[in-house]
Amino acid sequence: MISPKDDCSLCGLCKVRTNIVRPSGDLGSKVVLVGEGPGENEDIQGKPFVGRAGKILDKALVEAGVDRDRIMITNTVKCRPPQNRDPTAEEMEACRPFLISELEGREMVVLLGRSAIKDLLGYDGPMNAIVNTIQEKDVDGIRIRFLPTYHPMACVYRKEARQKLADAMSMVREIIS
């Protein structure tokens, strides 16, 4: 697995970040959860999913019986986009080598949210048409099995999204058990 250096300057996000947010959890896990990009708390702590979205994700993991330490969690980009905006295609492309090296050899890659789904699957249609369906795709010469689902923040106002995220985490439990 390759990792961005502390002085990474492959895109403009390096000018506004506090920390590079590297993967957390079990770096050798069969399952990887991929979010869109770090938020303010993640930027400060240098860890993915430690803010509000992280609390929602943690709740879904606990309810599904998944120990967060048994999976790897990362993002499409390793630096926080300003004002928590979605990462641009150029920013995701700059971080692509790091992300692909994190995904190689995994049984399942869970894509949390629209940006991660668009970046890795190239899908830009309605979320409900693809959520919690197994997708296989070659990405940069590597065959990867994906499970696209809702980002934890989508669960704040949408009961359907909460249930779909819970169902996805139950699927993760089956893989790591």
Query: Does residue 54 have a pLDDT over 90?
Result: yes
Residue 3 pLDDT: 79
CA of residue 160 relative to chain centroid, distance: 20
In the chain, domain spans: 12-176
Average pLDDT for 20-40? 96
CA of residue 89 relative to chain centroid, distance: 15
Query: Does residue 52 have a pLDDT over 90?
Result: yes
Lateral strand order in the sheet of 72-75: 24-25, 72-75, 31-35, 108-112, 142-149, 135-139
**CATH level 2 (architecture), domain 12-176:** 3-Layer(aba) Sandwich (3.40)
- Strand 135-139 versus strand 24-25 pairing type: unpaired
Give the model confidence (pLDDT) of 117-127 as tens digits: 999 999 999 99
Residue 146 pLDDT: 97
Average pLDDT for 101-107? 94
Contact indicator for 163, 62 with CB cutoff of 8 Å: no
Distance in angstroms (rounded) separating the CA atoms of residues 162 and 158: 7
Residue 68: both structure tokens together: 């967060």
